[in-house]
A and B are shown apart, each in its own frame.
Chain A
Amino acid sequence: MSAYVVRRLLGLLPVLAAAIVLTFAANQFVPGDPVTVMLGDQGGNVELEQKLRREYGLDRPLPVQFADYLAKLARGDFGLSFRYPSVPVTQVIRDALWISPSLAAAALVLALPIGISLGIVAALRRNTLADTGIILVLVAGLSIPNFALAAFFVWIFALKLGWAPVAGWTSWRHAVLPVALLAIPAAAYLARLARTFMLEVLQQDYVRTARAKGLPERLVVWRHSLRNVLVPILTVCGVIFGTLITGTVVIETIFNIPGLGRIAIDSIFARDYPVTMAIVMLFTFFYAIINFIVDVLYGIVDPRIRISR
């Protein structure tokens, strides 16, 4: 088991290395000189310009800058923001750090039971009206982009009915619509998978045996089938969490939630590249860690995986 965990951990390295190199390279390719932008109407102030260049390390050769970038990253330092001169990136994103992952986690916790039970109901009633109805709802849930649905939800639930606040981030009520909107496509995706897996499991010999020896359907479903549906579901949770985290970029923009996603978009338009790159790194990092945890859990649940991969 520990060999398996180490192997999975080593598998993370190329991804993190790619993220580091890509973000550093992107910082070199971005148009415009950050110091010129920061100086603004102080354009002629040579002394200030030299001070900023020194402070941001931009006066040194690229390899040195890269080594410095690496060394700082290792200490959790993402450098200084361009938009707020001399302010560390970590300070810009510190308060936002946990908002996106928390929203994504809440949505996943909400989506898992709803999605799995919908999928199982559909599978147990295969080819009935209920099944077809659920499938159509699932296609709609997967197809309608969450910002389009958000416009509709805000209009109905916030503006017409007044059940939830329109936007902002001061009480738990502000999280209701965002979490619901994030959970919908996730639940639809989970339900689709649960339905497929359940249909597969129901065709297995051990299910036929369970039925043949006269077990009540309740036990066949709950004890013999469900467990084997949950294992493959577990493996896709990482992917779902990844899409949920990126989904927060859109949701935070709509609901004016000060999370990493909204800051990422703001920073692109403000040309605050160090902040953009830090958030790209963090999102990639979250995604990699989650997939690592899922892989390890999968190895625990299904021993065959440890050996074959």
Chain B
Amino acid sequence: MIGRTAAEAISEGSRLAEFSRLFLANRSAMLGATIVLIAVVVALLSSWLAPTDYARTNMLFVWEPPGDDFVLGTDALGRDVFSRLIVGARVSLTIALSVLAIALTVGTAAGMAAAWNGGWIDSLVMRTADITFAFPELIIAILVAAILGPGILTVIISLSLVSWPGIARIVRALVLTLRGELYIDAAIVCGTPPTQILLRHCLPNIVPALIVRASVGVGFIVMAEATLSFLGLGVQEPLPSWGGMIRDGLTALRTDPHLSLAAGAALGTTIIGFNLLGDGLRDLLDPRIRER
């Protein structure tokens, strides 16, 4: 590729300016972005923000009510609920990010391979995706959990398994339309190797669609992880997870409702944030919707 011309650079710059103007004007997207930002900052700084060690048990202070010593009280093992809530953000977001990274990589590679090669590779990838879609998500997780046993690995594998086909389908469709473009033909004529065409010429055109897909998908992944952890199939003690904290709190719902409700509020707010942000980005980046 030759260097960008000045005109291109300007139009690129004004597109970005236009994008940020529209994004800043979209109130619900901004609300979502703020929530996500707070969640990310809390997750990154969790080691400093948590008042005590999330795993330290103290049998002298079990079921403490919220107060000066413990902002949100303590659980059945005397662990500080507030600290566990904060570290829970890190656990939740780390898992979501890992799943997203795996699903995006596998999905993009599979979608590109299917679109570029066609033939049996295309059939194999797309039929595998179809069959994966035919299983309800939680059922795949149950199958994986039965084989691997409960744990973080089970969560990451099962959620990656259900997340890659959607990405592969989008990437395949986009690469198929891009193949008709003149600059791709030019690259082929120049003898550019296919991997380079796909990565340097196709990928940049796919990125906006992937960003939309990813931002809409994070909320789902966070919810699915919490669901698996709630059922006991996901994150295991002593590591805190919002889903697990809600389940643990259920036994004490009558006397200490704040245990379940605080974790539920953190989880619900975070997912709302991701979904608002994702919807906002989709409205802005998906040209089909913008034209309306």
Bound Cα distance from A18 to B269, whole angstroms: 37
B227 touches A284 (CB 8 A): no
Interchain CB contact (< 8 A) of A140 among B127, B227, B268: B268
CB neighbours of A249 from chain B (8 A): 138, 142, 231
- Asked whether any CB of chain A lies closer than 8 Å to the CB of B134, the reply is yes
**Contacting pair A148 B253 (CB below 8 A):** no
- Report the interface size for chain B: residues with CB under 8 A from the other chain: 46
A273 within 8 A of B: yes
A222 adjacent to chain B (CB < 8 Å): no
**B231, A155: Cβ atoms closer than 8 Å:** no
List A residues 253-308 near B (Cβ within 8 Å): 253-254, 264-265, 268-269, 273, 276-277, 279-280, 283-284, 287-288, 291
CB of B213 to closest CB in A, whole Å:
17
B253–A159 touching, CB < 8 Å:
yes
Bound complex: CA A23 to CA B140 (Å): 10
Q: Are B139 and A280 in contact (CB under 8 A)?
A: yes
Q: Please, which residues of chain B bring their CB within 8 A of the CB of A30?
A: 146-147
CB distance B136 to A15 under 8 Å?
Answer: no
Main secondary structure of the interface of A (DSSP, over half): helix
Complexed CA–CA distance, A145 and B245 (Å): 13
Q: Does A151 contact B (CB under 8 A)?
A: yes
Of B130, B230, B233, the most chain A CB neighbours within 10 A belong to B230
A204 interfacial by beta-carbon distance below 8 Å:
no
Pick the interface stretch among B1-9, B64-72, B164-172, B270-278: B270-278
Asked if B135 contacts A268 (CB within 8 A), the reply is no
Structural contact, B264 and A149, CB atoms closer than 8 A: yes
The residue from B127, B139, B263, B279 contacting A14, defined by CB atoms under 8 A apart: B127
Task: Evaluate contact between A151 and B142: CB separation under 8 angstroms.
Answer: no
CB-CB contacts below 8 Å: B209-246 with A:
219, 223, 226-227, 230-233, 243, 246
Among A209-249, those with CB < 8 Å from B are: 242-243, 245-246, 249
> Of residues 122 to 161 in A, which have CB atoms within 8 Å of B's CB atoms?
135-136, 139-140, 142-145, 147-149, 151-152, 154-155, 159
- Residues of chain A touching chain B, judged by Cβ–Cβ distance below 8 Å, are 14-15, 18-19, 22-23, 26, 29-31, 135-136, 139-140, 142-145, 147-149, 151-152, 154-155, 159, 242-243, 245-246, 249-250, 253-254, 264-265, 268-269, 273, 276-277, 279-280, 283-284, 287-288, 291
Given contacts A22-B143, A268-B233, 17 further A-B contacts (CB under 8 A): A26-B147, A30-B147, A135-B28, A142-B275, A143-B219, A145-B264, A147-B247, A148-B226, A151-B260, A249-B142, A249-B231, A250-B227, A265-B231, A268-B142, A277-B146, A284-B139, A287-B136
The 8 nearest A-B residue pairs measured at CB: A148-B264, A151-B260, A246-B138, A144-B268, A15-B134, A143-B271, A143-B272, A246-B136
